[in-house]
Structure 1
Amino acid sequence: MPELGAKVIVAIKGQKKKGVVVGLVRLQKPFVPRFDSNNMVLMDDKGNPLGTRILVPIPNLIRKETYGLNKIIAIATRFV
């Protein structure tokens, strides 16, 4: 099972894409938010997000720790 901030490879319409998990529907550790849906941000091979906006809230856990996701944090609008 992936954790928050895990880098995963997914198949979308027969193509492999890389992504980062930013929200999970499952019981979390204390003080880690639980989401209503599974959320991930798709990224290219260089680590840049494929989209220009992130509409889901990003957990502060990802923001504070060094996951190497500065580009995602820069375009995110909400944090939980």
Structure 2
Amino acid sequence: MGCPLLPAAASAWVRVVPAYFVLPAGICAVVSGTGALARMRDQAAADRHRARAGVTLGVLAIVVPLVAIGWAFSTLGHA
């Protein structure tokens, strides 16, 4: 969700900013993949694997950060 393996000399923004783009990218992947699947509905010969992969990866890009944030709040709440 970020770039924590970068050296300490790198700016904190460079290490953390990619985490802010995960959720919007996941939402875009789900929307565009669902739209592509809807356009392919009438085409029998269409290959739907890329659209399904986009939707699946988009859902993962949405769910994983939200679960991580929920876990962090839960863990910090017990501390």
TM range (shorter): under 0.3
Higher helix share: 2
- Larger RCO of the pair (alpha carbons < 8 Å, separation 6+): 2
TM-score of the superposed pair, with normalisation by structure 2:
0.21
Higher strand share: 1
- Look at both structures and tell me which one has the larger radius of gyration over its CA atoms: 2
TM-score of the superposed pair, with normalisation by structure 1:
0.21
